[in-house]
Amino acid sequence: MDHFEYRNGILHAEDVPLTRIAAEVGTPVYVYSRATLTRHARVFRDALAGLDPLICYAVKANGNQAVLKLLAAEGYGADVVSAGEMKRALAAGIPAGKIVFSGVAKTDAEIRAALEAGILQFNVESDAELDAIEQVAAAMGVTARVSLRINPDVDAGTHAKITTGKADNKFGIAWDRAIDVYAHARRLPHVEATGIDLHIGSQLSKLEPFEAAFTRTVELIRRLKAEGHPIRHLDLGGGLGIPYSDETPPAPQAYAEMVHRVTGDLDLKLIFEPGRVIVGNAGLMLSEVVYVKETASKRFLILDAGMNDLMRPALYDAYHEVVAVTEPAAGAARAPVEIVGPVCESTDVFARERPMPPVARGDLVAFRSAGAYGATMSNTYNARELVPEVLVDGDRYAVIRPRQTVDELIAMDRVPDWI
């Protein structure tokens, strides 16, 4: 469920017509619905309530301060993958004790900053990282709390570029090395390994891969406890999918029931890292048709939004529903079009042979389900300004990230005085 619907022939975000935002802010622009965001956060939180969880929102999905502040108010922590994301979370009021630090390439400076901040734990992805954390913690005279991210070698059944739990992925510690690495961690005087972490991928539409990975991990926990390791928490990661098209991902309540069935007798603190399932359907990207181009074999809708503004289709063939902001007439004929952007790359294609109603130059279209991995992945390729973001609340809206100007972009460069 979201709060984007047609009213009087115009697509609205809650009570605000998207035509108004386009006229006042310009396009392309990301538009988020506060009502949808908070509803999704509460549904996920309430589904897990019986498990007494710590829910650490994956900041990489959408790290805008307004989004993080709303989630902090709902009691969420943060899953971060860089010192920059950690600082974003802290600035938004998320307590350090609710922050977990993931990622495969934590630098010494990032480890130091996280220890100084007092985060809950590092999710460790390799032996080398474990040793680096030991060295930094020793130099600071502190003990670092860690969970080891164990790769359960389970195929999540998603696109290859968003799968993270197979043996040949860069993430995590190999399953057959888990016992040895925990033994190594126990020998390190400035590391306390009290948890286990896993994350098998993103946009999962079935519970079976989750259950297979969680069940295998529970078996490992029992063995670790039997060998005297003080395992007190289990981080189950994120990955629950959303409906971009005709997918029917499991509801949070069904997910929670499966987790309880698999982990119910372990007496562990459970940590979850949702991202997309919270913000994905809470946002859309609004764009204007610049040209309609006809060729002998195709019809192109050329938009003012490009792959630099929404990378997902170019990066891993992701699907986004594209709708006209002005509601098509009932029974309007649809014809296949190529929906493309202005970036000087052949991969700047949002959709191929997509059936669309008649759309003309100057018309507005909206990319639905763009709240996750849209703005956070945007960039300035072709010297295009970073796209702005807007948050709607009822009949009002605010610009929560202004559009970058080309002058600001150029001002970031520094020309040596010897040129």
Q: Which domains does the chain have, with CATH numbers?
A: 4-32+282-412 (2.40.37.10), 52-274 (3.20.20.10)
pTM here is 0.94
Binding residues for pyridoxal 5'-phosphate: 239, 273-276, 373
Strand partners for 149: 197
Helix (H, G, I), strand (E, B) or coil at 118: coil
Phi, psi of 13 (to 5 degrees): -105, 110
Burial of 52 (0-12, 13-18, 19+ CB in 10 A): exposed
Strand partners for 5: 12
**What pLDDT does residue 123 have?**
97
Give the CA radius of gyration of the chain: 23
The question of whether 56 is a catalytic residue gets the answer no
**What pLDDT does residue 230 have?**
94
Binding residues: 239, 273-276, 312, 316, 345, 373
DSSP 3: S
**What pLDDT does residue 181 have?**
96
DSSP 191: E
CA distance 364 to 137: 53
**What pLDDT does residue 155 have?**
61
**What pLDDT does residue 407 have?**
97
pLDDT tens per residue across span 327-379: 999 889 999 999 999 999 999 999 999 999 999 999 999 999 999 999 999 99
**What pLDDT does residue 105 have?**
95
**What pLDDT does residue 1 have?**
74
Binding residues for substrate: 276, 312, 316, 345, 373
Which residue ranges of the chain lie beneath pLDDT 70? 155-169
Active-site residue, selected from the candidate residues 226, 296, 330, 344: 344
CA distance 30 to 149: 34
Token pair recorded at residue 209: 């891969």
Contact 89, 106 (CB under 8 A): no
pLDDT tens per residue across span 238-285: 999 999 988 889 999 999 999 999 998 898 999 999 999 999 999 999
**What pLDDT does residue 166 have?**
47
**What pLDDT does residue 162 have?**
42
Cis peptide before 416 (omega within 30 of 0): no
Strand partners for 356: 335
Contact 54, 379 (CB under 8 A): no
Contact 390, 75 (CB under 8 A): no
